[in-house]
Structure formats: C-alpha cells, structure tokens
A and B are shown apart, each in its own frame.
Chain A
Amino acid sequence: MNTEAESPSRIPPLKSIGVAGFKSIRDKQSIAIAPLTILAGANSSGKSSVMQPLLLMKQTLEAPFDPGALAIAGPYTNFTRIDQMLFRSKSHELSNSVTEIQVELVLDSNESVEVDYSVGGGIGEGPFYLKSQKFSHPLGTYTINPYVNEMELMKRLNSIRRFEADPGEISTNKYKLMFKRKRCFFEGRLSRASGGESGTIDVTSPYISNMIFNLLGLIYVPARRGDSARSYPIASVERFFPGMFPHYFPSLINKWIKESADEKNRLETAMRDLGFGAKIQARPSTASDVELFVSRLGDQDIHDGSDDLVNLADVGIGVAQALPVITALIAAHSGGIVYIDQPELHLHPRAQITMAKLLADAAEKGVRVVVETHSELLLLSIQTLVAEGYLSPRDVKLHWFERDKRTGVTTVASADLDSTGRFGDWPEDFGDTSLTAEGRYLDAAEARLSVEAL
C-alpha cells in the first residue's frame, strides 16, 4: 500500500466511529472522536465493542497474508467463532438474526465510509465477506455492492467525483467500472474500455487510502501491556506500529535516547511528573535485544549527580505499565489515534492526576487520544484541567456505555464539558458510586462508634 508516502498533515483524521451488529451493540451506536475522548461505563458495558471493529480492520490490513474481508484473530482480537462477534440478545424480545457487522468511519473532511461485513464468506473468502460499502461525500453518496447497477453508479460517481468523463461516453459503454476487495475495503477503478492503464481512474481514492492511513496509524495500548522483562526484542520503529504497541516502546526509547533529545526530554519529564525515576537509559544486551534502565529514586539523582539506575524489571510494575502509555502519547502524530485501555492502571492516585495532564498534552498536540477508563480521579482531573483553562472543553468528549439489563443491548450517551468542566446530566456513575461508598462507610463506622460509646 502506498499510504506511507502520504503526507500525514494532509490526511483528514477520524472524527467519528459508528458500529452496529457487533457484540453487545445491536443498532448503530456512534461516538464522536475529539482530541481527548473518554469511554466510560461498567465492566462489560460495551466500551471496547465500539473500538474493536477498528482493530479488526487494522489487523486485516496489517496481516502478512490476505485473511479475507475481516481477520477475526490476530494481534488485537482472538475470536475463534463468528457467534462470538455478532450481536446476540439475552431476551426473546429481540431477534437474534443479526448477520452483519457494520462499521462507519467519518473523517474531519465529512467524507465517510460505511462498510457492511456479512457472515458466510464461503470457502476461500474468510468468515465474513464484504457485502457493501457506502461512501458519503459532501457532494453526495454512492454504494458499492455486488448487485449495483454499474451504469447508474458510474453516472453517480461522475457527478460526485467529476472525473471529467463525458456522460455521453459513460452511457455508450466507453467506460468500464471495476471493483475488487482489497482487504477490508472495496477499491474501484474506472477505465476506458479500450484504453490502457493510463486511462484508469481510482474512484475510491483518496477516501479509502485516507481510511487505511487512519487505521494503520492507530496506536493501541491494551490494558495488558506485557510483563516487565529484563530485555526486549528490538523492533523497527517507523511511522506505523503494526501489532501491539508495547512491542515497540523499548526500541522507541532507545531511538530517542540516541537521536532525539526532544522526545527523550519529554519522556523523562513525564516520568518525573508521574513520580518515577526521572532518568532512563537503553542498552543493547544482544544484537536483537535492548535493556531499559530507569533511575530508582525519583528525581533525587538529578540533584546529587549519581546515576542510580536499575533494570526496568526491578522497579515497580507501575513504571513498566505506564511507559508504553507515555511513549505512545509522545510517538503519536498529529491526527493519529492513540487508543489506551485504562491508562490509570497500577498508578498511585497522584500519578493518575498527572496522567490526565499527559493525555491533555497529547490532545493539545493534535493527537486523538481515546481512553477507556474506570478512574473517577482521571475524569475529575480532566474536568479540573478544563476548569483551570489548561484544556479546551471543545477538545473533550465523554461517552458513557450502558447495557440494558433485560436485552443486553449497549447504548451510548455522550456529553460535552463546559468551560467549568461540568458535564451535566451524563449518566456518569463514578461520582454516585464514590458518594454511596463514602456514605456506606460513614453509616457503618458511626453505627459502630455509637454502640461502643454506650
């Protein structure tokens, strides 16, 4: 794919994602992607279900072979059966006849593509086949599917895309339209029936290449970020990071230490702000491995000049788990999505407050940071950064996921922050939960004190 040659600054970033038919999501649920997008909700409420289809498409694009329209197992997902992926109702009230997964990607340029993956690809096609692909463009929409009227589509394409093909020539069959699946998308060419390669027009470009660029550029930092290791395999660090990002962070750090003082300084500043050792070193242990060393005693080493460095495996797990997050936020390009599952994991509450600022800093830089979180403190810290004027409320979107207890269907409620960090009547329950917990503790403690005082 030629997407590597594209100038990143010209690629419109994703501004919303819609998903239907996938796991607990029945009807289409859409979420807007802001520079800082918060996904919250109880366990198994469907937070991941809205992002996983992107990971499915990403692993389909990154697969070293053509896995069909959707690679259901790979570095990001490990489905083994189709029924694990499709919506299934817990209730008899809803039909279980969902046989399609629909994904809609909308770019900042207001171009969108809605792709339907349907069950039953058949032998040689993979578990899903690409059923249809609908483009929406400010000038109009058109849909590609196996039953499309080619002539009508060509006319429509020509009116939208202005290929400068003479409508008369289209109607006299001088042009031929051909579509073929390229991994998880249709790509199409319009060519003169009698012409050579020079007469062809890629009718799905640049939309599809823009979508592919966004998907390949997505950085996913999962909740399980790997164990602390004594050494890490060296990985090639270029523009894209195929596979799990935690494979790359040691090599990125190694590269920054050698070549980029700016990134290294940002990394060390973030580490110091989080309360970790403020120095980091990378040393190749073999030709194919690198070891990471961090200072052990906070920023003390800066003052006394000593280098009290220890292997990353010998410090608390919080450091090893936070490093992939910090590294991803620094490495991401403007417009690129960094999707982080629970950035607060293993962090002391003070460090969670700092983590909110690191997320805000990346968002300010233009990165689209999508965060799944269970941390009330992280959310409160983001509200505080907005109220303090550090983060623009326009740069934050909150999405709350809930599942209907009877039917199991996920719905998403979204909210914006105002300039004081308030979100209004969003069904956020962190606060309710902590208030209830605080009240419950006080009730119990007071009751016991009352008995003891008698």
Chain B
Amino acid sequence: MIDRRSKLLVIDASVARSSGGSETLEPTAKACRERLKTILDVRHRMMMSQPIREEWNKHQSNYARTWRRNMYARKLIEIVNVPEDETFRNKIRLKAANTKNMEAMIKDCHLIEAASIADRIVISRDDEVRDLFRSVAQDFKVLQGIAWINPVDPAADVVAWLAAGANLNDRPKLTPTTNEGDTGQ
C-alpha cells in the first residue's frame, strides 16, 4: 500500500547528473544525494517516462544509478507512457520570446507533461528553464499548477519538505503574480 505521504515526482536528469561525477567539487552534489536519499527513505515515487529515462541514462552519476535501482526494486518508479502534448508545445512555440527560449522550453516540455499527470511536482536544478516557464505561465493553466523545485535551493529546506510529504501547496507554483491573460491550455 502506498503511504499517503508518498508523492509521484518528476525528477529531472539534472539532479541525477549533479549527484556525483563531473560536479564533484560543488557542494550541490552532496545536497542532491541527500535529497535523493530522502525521496527513497520517505518512499516518494518517481515518474519515469521515455524521455526522462533517456535523459537519466545519458546523465546519471553512479550514485544516481544505484539510487534508481533501489527505487525500482521497491516499486517506487512508475513507468508511464506520456504522449507529447502538441497543443501545449505549439503554444509554447508561439509564446516564447525568442528561438533560444523556445528551444530551451521545448526540450523540457516532457517534464511538464509528465508532472501534469503525476503530482505536479518537478524537481530540477535548471532554474533558467524554470524562469522561462514562469515567464509564460500566465498563458498556461497547466504551468500554473506545477511546483518547480530546485533541490539545492538553500532557502527552500527541500529535505524537510520532502520528509513532511512534499505537499504541493507548501511550495510556490509557476503561477505568475497575477493571473491576467489566463487562456487555459
């Protein structure tokens, strides 16, 4: 039986990469490992779509691989086929301020698509793309419901939040300060 506290999380490969390997001189690696371990200990689950898996296979550190294997053995990884949402993606192409921003967001649309059918939580180290999504969020109802968490944000106390059940409402969403222009999605 799944613990009521257990949330189905989308965890970006940036976390897997940062948990060891080439970033070993950064304190973020230790923090990433600690967050991943907390996710395992609390029995949160991970949403694994095809693009997420491909990204993890490309970037995961040895630590992340061991973590992933443990999550998998405990049935905490849910393999889900998440189809690309062409309407959403086309709208991103239209609303992006420039090509560079558009390409960056399109590359990570799969995280939003997966999170929208999970518990609407993306854990990623990529603040830039988070800010890009936030910049267009007023035009996307789906983005407004997503909490995008940088696991090593020192102000966010992510370990305590994960341990307490990763409550979506305890974290700011990609919601803009005003909801003007919400066209839904």
Residues of A with Cβ closer than 8 Å to B?
A: 380, 383, 418, 420-426, 428, 431-432, 434-436, 438-439, 442-443, 445-446, 449-450, 453
- The residue on A at minimum CB distance from B70 is A431
B153 to chain A, nearest CB (A): 20
Interface of B is mostly: helix
Instruction: Pick from B29, B33, B62, B67 the residue with the most CB of A within 10 Å.
Output: B33
- The residue on A at minimum CB distance from B21 is A442
> Are the CB atoms of A432 and B25 closer together than 8 Å?
no
Partner of B72, one of A422, A426, A450, A453: A422
A435 to chain B, nearest CB (A): 5
B41 to chain A, nearest CB (A): 8
A417 to chain B, nearest CB (A): 9
Q: Which residues of A contact B20 (CB under 8 A)?
A: 442
> Are the CB atoms of B67 and A453 closer together than 8 Å?
no
> Are the CB atoms of A435 and B63 closer together than 8 Å?
yes
Known: A431-B70, A435-B67, A435-B70. A442 touches B75 (CB 8 A): no
Known: A435-B37, A435-B40, A439-B63. A422 touches B29 (CB 8 A): no
Q: Which residues of A contact B29 (CB under 8 A)?
A: 442, 446
Q: Which residues of A contact B62 (CB under 8 A)?
A: 438
Known: A423-B74, A425-B43, A449-B24. A439 touches B33 (CB 8 A): yes
B35 to chain A, nearest CB (A): 11
- Residue B73 lies at the interface, judged by CB distance under 8 Å to chain A: yes
B179 to chain A, nearest CB (A): 41
- Residue B50 lies at the interface, judged by CB distance under 8 Å to chain A: no
- Residue B59 lies at the interface, judged by CB distance under 8 Å to chain A: no
Known: A422-B74, A438-B63. A443 touches B40 (CB 8 A): no
Known: A424-B75, A449-B24, A449-B25. A442 touches B69 (CB 8 A): no
Q: Which residues of B contact A431 (CB under 8 A)?
A: 66, 69-70, 73
Distance, CA A439 to CA B37, complexed state (A):
9
Distance, CA A421 to CA B74, complexed state (A):
10
Known: A431-B70, A434-B66, A435-B66. A446 touches B40 (CB 8 A): no
Distance, CA A453 to CA B25, complexed state (A):
8
A selection of 26 A-B contacts at a CB cut-off of 8 Å is A383-B73, A418-B75, A422-B72, A422-B74, A423-B74, A423-B75, A424-B74, A425-B43, A426-B74, A428-B73, A431-B69, A434-B66, A435-B37, A435-B63, A435-B67, A436-B37, A438-B63, A438-B66, A439-B30, A439-B33, A439-B37, A442-B24, A442-B63, A443-B30, A449-B24, A450-B27
B165 to chain A, nearest CB (A): 17
- The residue on A at minimum CB distance from B67 is A435
Interface of A is mostly: helix
Distance, CA A435 to CA B58, complexed state (A):
20
> Are the CB atoms of A442 and B33 closer together than 8 Å?
yes
Distance, CA A190 to CA B130, complexed state (A):
83
Q: Which residues of B contact A450 (CB under 8 A)?
A: 25, 27
Q: Which residues of A contact B33 (CB under 8 A)?
A: 439, 442-443
Distance, CA A383 to CA B37, complexed state (A):
22
Distance, CA A432 to CA B30, complexed state (A):
16
- The residue on A at minimum CB distance from B71 is A431
> Are the CB atoms of A432 and B24 closer together than 8 Å?
no
B114 to chain A, nearest CB (A): 20
Q: Which residues of B contact A380 (CB under 8 A)?
A: 69
B26 to chain A, nearest CB (A): 8
Distance, CA A435 to CA B38, complexed state (A):
12
Known: A380-B69, A383-B73, A423-B74. A445 touches B63 (CB 8 A): no
Q: Which residues of A contact B63 (CB under 8 A)?
A: 435, 438-439, 442
A353 to chain B, nearest CB (A): 15
Q: Which residues of B contact A439 (CB under 8 A)?
A: 30, 33-34, 37, 63
* Extra 15 A-B pairs, beta carbons < 8 Å, given A425-B43, A442-B24: A421-B73, A422-B75, A423-B75, A431-B70, A432-B40, A432-B70, A435-B37, A439-B34, A439-B37, A442-B63, A443-B30, A446-B25, A446-B27, A449-B24, A450-B25
Distance, CA A449 to CA B67, complexed state (A):
23
A54 to chain B, nearest CB (A): 30
Q: Which residues of A contact B40 (CB under 8 A)?
A: 432, 435
Q: Which residues of A contact B34 (CB under 8 A)?
A: 439
Q: Which residues of B contact A421 (CB under 8 A)?
A: 73
A167 to chain B, nearest CB (A): 50
4 pairs of A and B residues whose beta carbons are closest in the complex: A431-B70, A424-B75, A439-B33, A446-B24
Q: Which residues of A contact B70 (CB under 8 A)?
A: 431-432, 435
Q: Which residues of A contact B37 (CB under 8 A)?
A: 435-436, 439
Distance, CA A436 to CA B36, complexed state (A):
11
Distance, CA A418 to CA B73, complexed state (A):
10
Distance, CA A450 to CA B63, complexed state (A):
19
Distance, CA A421 to CA B26, complexed state (A):
35
Distance, CA A420 to CA B73, complexed state (A):
9
Q: Which residues of B contact A422 (CB under 8 A)?
A: 72-75
Distance, CA A446 to CA B63, complexed state (A):
13
Q: Which residues of A contact B75 (CB under 8 A)?
A: 418, 422-425
Distance, CA A425 to CA B75, complexed state (A):
7
